[in-house]
Amino acid sequence: MGKENEFYTRLENKGVTRRDFMKFCTLLTATMGLSSSFIPKVAEVFAAPKQRPSVVWLHFGECTGCSEAMIRTMYPWTDELVLDILSVDYHEIIMAAAGQQAEEVLQSTIKKNAGEFICVVEGAIATANNGIYGKVGNRTFLEIAKDVCPKAKAVICQGTCSCFGGVQAAKPNPGGYKSVSEVLGIKTLNIPGCPPNPLNLIGTIVNYILLGKLPELDNLGRPLFAYGKTIHDQCPRRSHFENDEFVLEFGSQEAIMGFCLYKLGCRGPETYNNCPTAKFNGGTSWPIQAGHPCIGCSQPGFWDEMSPFYKEM
């Protein structure tokens, strides 16, 4: 109890109210599919560590959309994540150091925290011509991945590119881009999406700290709490599908009435994700709510397999 009080005092010093904090823990517990009895335990995750878990976030062949999505988190806010909860020791976009100074930080972090840090990877890895298509600081993505990933306690792939190759690996793929697990031959925890919902990464990390293990995964390495059901099975427009009520053209009366988007090419039936329940940007919306068919962005090979996007499956 003493520890808990101390924790809340610490939080309040940081400008976080106990109420806000519990709200976040409740939301996160629900997203992770845990019962409400876990809420105090989730809270404990953030109370316990005096030493914040070290995170190394690598950028390979990507558009930075996954990082952008991550900093849109509202439960908790990004400043809480980077100042109070985690120690984000290397992240090219948000770290203040640049160039040589940044690379020094990477090397010292993976040495000091070997076997302890969480490695998050954003982007696919170029393999053609020994990886010459993609470099950071004149080192290929391939070299960096081989150097850093094996030293991590866990490798989490954030976004479809690091999970499955993404747009980089779409045909004709001149750079020979591949997913992290294909390149390194290791099992990665995959949080696909273009971009993924930040809640799914936060839920995974909390699960990891809370239970001391990674969440249960499907055969593609995706946490079941987020990727256990299809979009179609959770879709609020599902009854229209059952009733044969379809949108045949954008902007039509059927679109205004929110009918099913299946005939405009919706990939909801074969896409596993929690978009309909978690929604994006603090629960504001998600693609089907905005009247656009699901394009299957969290499935392997979606650029090749799911397109042309507007053609019925």
Partner 1 sequence: MRAVENAVGVKIPENARLIRNLLHGAQFQHDHIIHFYHLHAFDWVDILSALKADPAKTAALSDNVTNAPWGGTAYFKTVLQRIQTFVDSGQLGIFANAYWGHSAYKLPPEANLMAAAHYIEALRLQAKAAKMHAIFGGKNPHLQSLVVGGITSVQDLNPDRLAQFLYLWKETQDFVNNVYIPDLLAVASFYKDWGAIGGTSNFMAWGEFPQNENEPDSLYMPRGYIQKRDVAKIQAADQQKVAEHVKFGWYAEGKPKHPFEGETKPNPGDYKPDGGKYTWFKAPRYDGEACEVGPLARVLIAYGKNHKDIKPLVDSTLKKLDIPVTALFSTLGRTAARGLETAAIGNAMEGWIMQLFDNVKKGDLTTYQSWKMPKSAQGVGLNDVPRGSLGHWIRIENEKIKNYQYVVPSTWNLGPRCEKGIPGPLEEALIGTPVADAKRPLEILRTVHSFDPCIACGVHVIDPASNAVYKIRAI
Which residue's CB is nearer to partner 1, number 230 or number 289? 289
Cβ 35 to partner 1 shortest distance, Å? 29
Cβ 174 to partner 1 shortest distance, Å? 5
Dihedral angle, C-alpha 131, 136, 137, 143, nearest 10 ° = -40
- Maximum CA extent, the chain: 61
Q: Which is it for strands 87-91 and 54-59: parallel, antiparallel or unpaired? A: parallel
Number of C-beta neighbours around residue 252 at 10 A: 11
Q: Which residues pair with 59 in a beta bridge?
A: 122
Cβ 53 to partner 1 shortest distance, Å? 10
Which residue's CB is nearer to partner 1, number 50 or number 171? 50
- The alpha carbons of the chain give a radius of gyration, in whole angstroms, of 20
Which residue's CB is nearer to partner 1, number 16 or number 189? 16
In degrees rounded to 5, what are phi and psi of residue 120? -105, 130
Cβ 31 to partner 1 shortest distance, Å? 16
Listing DSSP states for 92-154 in one string gives TTT-S--HHHHHHHHHHHHHHTTTTPEEEEESBB--GGGGTT-EETTEEHHHHHHHHGGGSSE
Cβ 82 to partner 1 shortest distance, Å? 6
Cβ 285 to partner 1 shortest distance, Å? 5
Closest CA to 189 of 151, 159, 212: 159
Note the helical H segments in 154-197.
Answer: 160-164, 180-184
- Both tokens of 275, joined, read 């978009």
Alpha-carbon span 254 to 109, nearest angstrom: 55
Which residue's CB is nearer to partner 1, number 39 or number 136? 136
- Both tokens of 106, joined, read 């990477």
Which residue's CB is nearer to partner 1, number 101 or number 243? 101
Cβ 135 to partner 1 shortest distance, Å? 8
- Both tokens of 183, joined, read 């390149």
Which residue's CB is nearer to partner 1, number 44 or number 92? 92
| Chain centre to alpha carbon of residue 170 | 20
Cβ 258 to partner 1 shortest distance, Å? 6
Which residue's CB is nearer to partner 1, number 21 or number 38? 21
Alpha-carbon span 63 to 84, nearest angstrom: 27
Which residue's CB is nearer to partner 1, number 26 or number 310? 310
